[in-house]
Amino acid sequence: MAGTRWIGEAVATRPGRMWGIQGKAALVTGGGSGIGFGAARRLAADGALVTICGRTEDKLVKAADAIAPDVGEGGAIRWVVADVTVEDQVATAIEAAQGPGGGLDILFANAGGSQHLSSFESAEAAAIRSTVDLNLVGTMLSIKHAVPAMRRAGGGAIVAMSSGAGAFPHRWLSAYGAAKAGIDMLCRSAAEELGGDGIRVNSVRAGIVDDELMSFITAGGPLLDDYIAGMPLGRVGTVEDIAEVVRFLVGPESSWITGANIPVDGGHHLRAGANYSLLFGPDAG
C-alpha cells in the first residue's frame, strides 16, 4: 500500500532570505520518528519540499502534522507509505518525492535497525538476513532509484545512515555492524561512480542518540554507562546533532564533499565499541 498527501501550505518563517535547499525536493526514509523525523523537520524548516516514508501510515501522518508548523518559506511536508526492502515501494516513494520539475535533489536513506542481538554462537540466520536486508539492501535500493530522478534534476546529494558499529566492533551487534560497514562502502562506491552526474554520496556514522529507538538504552543502566565511558564528550547525542550534519551534507555548503563516512558520536570512534551483552547481565558476554 502506498499513498501521499500534502500537509497544508508552506509556512514562511524566514522571509527575505534565500536558503541553500529552498525548493529542493527531498526524500527521507524512516522519517516517521527519531533521526529521520528530526532531519525531515530540519530540511523542511529551510524550505525543502520534504517527503517522509515509512511502513506505518499513522506514524507518518502524525509526524507530518508535527513538522508542518515548522516548514520554512518555499517548503512543504508530505508522506508516502513504503517499505525500503520492497523495491516496487521504493520506486513509488522516489516518484512521490519528486519536485514539480520531475526530479529529486536530496535523499536521506535513514531507514534501518537491528533484528539481531546476540553472540555469534546463538545467532539466527533469519535475524541476520533481515538486518542486512533492512539496512544494506534498503539503502542500496533507495540510492538505485534516486539516481535517475537526480540526473533529471541535474545532480543531487545522498546521505545514508551508518553507525559507529560499522567502523569498530560493538559486542553482540555483529550483524548490524556488518550491514552498516556495507553501507559505508556502498556510499564510497556510489560516490566514485556518480560524481560525473553531479551526485554526491556520503554517510553519517551516528553514535548513541537519545530517541525512541534507543530509549531502552539512554534511560540508564550498564550499557549506557559503557557508552558514556567510551565517549570523550561524555554525553549521548540528540536527534538535532545528527540532523544538523545531514543538513550540511545535502546543502551547497558541502559541495566539494563526497565519498565521506563521517562520525557524529561524541568521539566514541576514538575509543572502544559498546558491549551490548550488558543488556543481559554482567556475565552474559
Assess whether 276 carries a catalytic annotation: no
* Residue 19: band (very low, low, confident or very high) from pLDDT cuts 50, 70, 90: low
Q: How confident is residue 275, by pLDDT bands cut at 50, 70 and 90?
A: very high
Min mean pLDDT across 9-13, 165-169, 172-176, 212-216 is at 9-13
Q: What is the C-alpha to C-alpha distance for residues 35 and 238, in angstroms, rounded to an integer? A: 9
Stretch 169-178: mean pLDDT, rounded? Answer: 97
Answer with the residue of higher pLDDT: 72 or 281.
Answer: 72
DSSP class per residue in the chain? ---EEE-S----SSTT---TTTT-EEEEETTTSHHHHHHHHHHHHTT-EEEEEES-HHHHHHHHHHHGGG--TT-EEEEEE--TTSHHHHHHHHHHH--TTS---EEEE-----S--S-GGG--HHHHHHHHIIIIIHHHHHHHHHHHHHHHTT-EEEEEEEEGGGTS--BT-HHHHHHHHHHHHHHHHHHHHHGGGTEEEEEEEE--B-STTTHHHHT-SHHHHHHHHT-TT-S-B-HHHHHHHHHHHHSGGGTT--S-EEEESTTGGGS---BGGGGG-TT--
Catalytic residue among 19, 79, 168, 176: 176
Contacts of 10-16 with C-beta under 8 Å, sequence gap 24+, read 10/47, 10/71, 10/72, 10/73, 10/74, 10/75, 10/76, 11/68, 11/69, 11/70, 11/71, 11/72, 11/73, 12/72, 12/73, 13/45, 13/70, 13/71, 13/72, 13/73, 14/47, 14/72, 14/73, 15/73
Report whether pLDDT(198) > 60.
yes
**Per-residue confidence at 282, pLDDT binned at 50, 70, 90?**
confident
Whether 11 shows a pLDDT value over 90: the answer reads: no
Please, which pLDDT band fits residue 284 given cuts at 50, 70 and 90?
confident
4 pLDDT higher than 70: no
Q: How confident is the model at residue 283 (pLDDT cuts 50, 70, 90)?
A: confident
At the fourth CATH level, the homologous superfamily of domain 4-210+238-266 is NAD(P)-binding Rossmann-like Domain (3.40.50.720)
Supply 23's cell numbers.
525548493
Q: Report whether pLDDT(167) > 50.
A: yes
Percentage of the chain lying above the pLDDT 70 cut = 93
pLDDT band, residue 1 (cuts 50/70/90): very low
Write out pLDDT tens, residues 85-124: 999 999 999 999 999 999 999 999 999 999 999 999 999 9
* Average pLDDT score over residue span 234-245: 98
> Minimum mean pLDDT among 2-16, 75-89, 98-112, 149-163: which range?
2-16
Q: Where are the domains of the chain?
A: 4-210+238-266
